[in-house]
Structure 1
Amino acid sequence: MAEPAGRRFTPWLATVQGVLDALPGMTGYLTGERDADGRLIDLVWAAASPEAVTPDGRRGTQLIGSRVSRHYPEVIAEERWKVYQRVLDTGEPADLGPVRARDSDFSIQVRRLGPGLLISWARLAEATREADRLDGMEQLGNLGWGELDLATGRIYWSPQVYRIYERDPALGPLGQDETDLLALPEDQPLRAAALEAFQRAERVDIVTRVKIGDRVKHLRTVADAVRDAAGRPLRIYGVVQDVTEQQAGADRLAEVERTLAAEHDLARRLQRIILPIPAEPIDLPGLRVALRYLPAAQEAMVGGDWFHAVALQDGSVLLAVGDVAGHGTHAATTMAQLRHALRALSVITSDPGTLLAHLNRLTCELGADTPELAATAVVARFDPARHELVWAQAGHPPPLLNRDGRTVPLARPCGPMLGVVPDARYGEQVTGFGPGDVLLLYTDGLVEQRRRSLDAGLAEVIATVDDAVRTAPQQPLAELLARLQRANPDDDTCILAARPLG
């Protein structure tokens, strides 16, 4: 079943209205109402420029749907009404003037556009500029319109169509065969599908390519027809818009998106290889550790968050969490370098402050090739025999310690971010860490979000730790990580929770 004419016509009107919105002066697109004998009995506003106005003060798009006879009933009896009907019937444009209306003399330009009339009114003093306005409307939208009268074979092109096809107007419009020769063969299936849709009395809206000289242009064509009672087309009308620049922009955007998607996929795979997250808690000497990685809400933002948890040769346990600034493959590769460096350095020393000093020098060296490289980290050594935790930090959020049901942030020793001060020193803090205690190391994505302050984020996490330990004192790690599910929409988050084994 054919689509109703009104619905098919809607995209056309949206295009016309969009152009009129940017057009100065008084211009309207009006559709005709006829009696049983085909005489034009009224015109209805279908689109209007912002300066179009009627005596009752209605302006621009407020006019849409109103009839000319309501505001200017005398026009129907004037000679120009016959001109309006002739333009509708023949497609021959007309210029009228001077025409007296509401105490002013006007010049009126009338052009057939599709099934309606494009009418421009200009006070006589402005008449010399009105033709330029219509031409400007076409150039503004880089579009033009044309018609084909199937009864006479006559083709009409507006000036911009000649510009789009780079054709001398003196030569007249291209014939159908000439137009087909410009089309790229690869688009033939698309054109054939459009033709089939047109034969089903559907509106056509396609983008195809033509080769004009040495250039390939992308042209959007919106076409429909005036049909007889049997649905046979009598007159074909359409709008042609050069969308080459828009298509080139879309192609560039698609290429960027493909590049970003490939980079994201590489960074994510690299991250999973370098930083496998164990699904279950791991037991180390005197300590149980559980880990969770919360990816950013935006899938493309692969971060440089990392952790380290390993037993050392002297029977102690080394714990660390870090965060490389930025996202993508660079952040992921830098994260790998720091994590592997920490593992190698821990063979030489287990002192947290010394380890951070070495990582800082490495980050400064990496920054020589990558300006503005920076990272944060916290490193802790747990002595299971003494139930003691020695830790240092480099510009990192403080660890949280829950003891006797109350969680507090540990006082941070001095230590700047990694990669900022080449010869920085990192102080250490010592705290008891025994059975019943719970330690939480984390990256800043857990507490920092755009829609809340850092203090509010930290308070929320502290409340979550308190409630988790209170709810499941025997298995607090599983309960805690189950509750810390929400990811920062702007950043990845790495969480390390630990408790001494009794």
Structure 2
Amino acid sequence: MWRGCLATLAGGEPYESEPFALRTVVDGVTSPATTYVVQVTRLEDSLVLTWVRHASSDRQEQRLADLQRLGDLGWANWNVAGREASWSPQVFTILGRDPADGPVRLTGLPALAVPEDRPALSRAVDALLHEGLPLDAPFRVRGTRGVRHLRLAAEPVADLHGTPVEVHGFLQDLTARRRAELALVESERAIVTQHDVLQAERTLVARLQNALLPLPQRAVELAGLRVEVAYLPAQAGIHVGGDWFSAIELPDGDALFVVGDVAGHGVGAVATMAQLRFTAKGMVITGSSLTGALARLNTLLLHSRDSHGTATMVLARYQPARRRLVWAQAGHTRRCCCATAR
């Protein structure tokens, strides 16, 4: 307050303090706190200080004004018989209407709404005035701040004959809430769309993998061996496509076993898996050694579309005449391939 007084004395601009509480002590008894505001005005080379006491009713009015401002709502009353209306200042703010123009009669309120919302609001107002039904209607207005989403809630006060003579209610600005709801709906729609895309890709990958790598329904008799397959992906759903195996009999009677894994998931991993799986078998069938096939496959992977892709593969050749298993491995992780003799 002292700094405010000095500023007024130096510059001449009036000063008004923030509300503050003051207690007085009379005969040793402390009175309840009273709220004051000090107003300072310059008068020539002197200052005039005015102490304004705020009664409890003033504080209640201030709290009501704060409540309306913080809640983006204001109260409104309409006298149906006298066709008079009274609005709180917050209603003018919500509607973007100059208080000098005065409030609008209840029957004229629908004219402030956007054309699409006028019929529903008019019907709600008619039902309130003629049937005494409470009104709780959303509508939109267009002003300098763009389109605003509002809510009008009102109820009638009837005479002894049940005829509405007065209407009181409130107007609330729901624009921020509506925007949040629309953003949430859009987010949910995007999530659903993304879920559908992922589901479609998941189905495609599963079908591709099943077409390229069908799991045998029973054990396979191969070069005197009984071969069985167990396949359990670490992750289900879209995270499939990188693992593969092969078990075939070569033209000379030997058995070829292949177990591999392409880094990554999805359609790209399925495509690389198919390329390596079929190329590996073709190379060994046409006479390549196991290590030679792995070296050529490494070159193939380096020159593929994804030059940074990696894979792991174990090639094993079983010679039934000598009961001998020869194998070679390359890649980032060790795998094992097992078969049992009959």
Give the alignment's TM-score, normalised by structure 2: 0.58
Question: How do 1:10-29 and structure 2 match up within 5 A?
Answer: none
1:239-281 superposed Cα distances (whole Å, 9 cap, x missing partner): 2111112222222232232223222212211221122276x96
Q: Secondary structure at the match of 1:218?
A: strand
Question: Offset of 1:213 from its aligned partner?
Answer: 4.1
1:102-132 superposed Cα distances (whole Å, 9 cap, x missing partner): 965879xxxxxxxxxxxxxxx8478766544
Number of aligned residue pairs: give it: 267
Q: What amino acid is the match of 1:347? A: F
Q: Secondary structure at the match of 1:346?
A: helix
Distance in 2 separating the partners of 1:225 and 1:358: 83
Please state if 1:349 is matched with 2:247. Answer: no
Question: Offset of 1:231 from its aligned partner?
Answer: 4.6
2:68: which partner in 1? 138
> 1:127 and 1:178, CA in 2 relative to 1: closer, same or farther beyond 3 A?
closer
Please state if 1:268 is matched with 2:203. Answer: no
1:238: which partner in 2? 169
1:306: which partner in 2? 241
Identity %: 23
Which of 287, 292, 302 is 2:228 aligned to?
A: 287
1:459: which partner in 2? none
1:9: which partner in 2? none
Question: Offset of 1:234 from its aligned partner?
Answer: 3.1
Please state if 1:426 is matched with 2:332. Answer: yes
1:39: which partner in 2? none
Which of 167, 170, 175 is 2:105 aligned to?
A: 175
Aligned partners of 1:388 and 1:431 also within 8 Å = no
Aligned partners of 2:244 and 2:273 also within 8 Å = no
Distance in 1 separating the partners of 2:177 and 2:202: 37
2:45: which partner in 1? none
Question: Offset of 1:338 from its aligned partner?
Answer: 1.6
CA RMSD, 1 decimal:
4.7
Please state if 1:185 is matched with 2:115. Answer: yes
> 1:318 and 1:181, CA in 2 relative to 1: closer, same or farther beyond 3 A?
farther
Distance in 1 separating the partners of 2:325 and 2:150: 74
Aligned partners of 2:233 and 2:240 also within 8 Å = no
2:146: which partner in 1? 215
Q: What amino acid is the match of 2:189? A: R
Q: Secondary structure at the match of 1:210?
A: strand
Q: What amino acid is the match of 1:174? A: V
Contiguous gaps of at least 5 residues in structure 1: 1-24, 26-101, 108-122, 296-301, 325-333, 368-374, 394-424, 436-501
Please state if 1:259 is matched with 2:190. Answer: yes
Aligned partners of 1:387 and 1:434 also within 8 Å = no
1:336: which partner in 2? 267
Aligned partners of 1:217 and 1:244 also within 8 Å = yes
> 1:196 and 1:335, CA in 2 relative to 1: closer, same or farther beyond 3 A?
farther
Q: What amino acid is the match of 1:336? A: V
Q: Secondary structure at the match of 1:152?
A: coil
Distance in 2 separating the partners of 1:190 and 1:430: 73
Aligned partners of 1:390 and 1:430 also within 8 Å = no
Aligned partners of 1:388 and 1:432 also within 8 Å = no
Give the alignment's TM-score, normalised by structure 1: 0.42
1:277-325 superposed Cα distances (whole Å, 9 cap, x missing partner): 76x9634853345678986xxxxxx74333544546655454556785x
1:145-178 superposed Cα distances (whole Å, 9 cap, x missing partner): 1111223222111111010111222221123454
Question: How do 1:91-130 and structure 2 match up within 5 A?
Answer: 104=32, 124=54
Aligned partners of 2:149 and 2:174 also within 8 Å = yes
> 1:291 and 1:166, CA in 2 relative to 1: closer, same or farther beyond 3 A?
same
Question: Offset of 1:361 from its aligned partner?
Answer: 9.7
Deviating more after overlay: 256-265 vs 220-229: 220-229
Distance in 2 separating the partners of 1:305 and 1:392: 22
Aligned partners of 1:205 and 1:223 also within 8 Å = yes
Question: How do 1:403-482 and structure 2 match up within 5 A?
Answer: 426-430=332-336, 432-434=338-340
Q: What amino acid is the match of 1:173? A: P
Q: Secondary structure at the match of 1:282?
A: coil
Question: Offset of 1:223 from its aligned partner?
Answer: 2.2
1:149: which partner in 2? 79
Distance in 1 separating the partners of 2:84 and 2:324: 96
Please state if 1:158 is matched with 2:81. Answer: no
Aligned partners of 2:86 and 2:103 also within 8 Å = yes
Question: How do 1:355-370 and structure 2 match up within 5 A?
Answer: none
> 1:312 and 1:143, CA in 2 relative to 1: closer, same or farther beyond 3 A?
same
Distance in 1 separating the partners of 2:329 and 2:163: 84
Aligned partners of 2:83 and 2:105 also within 8 Å = no
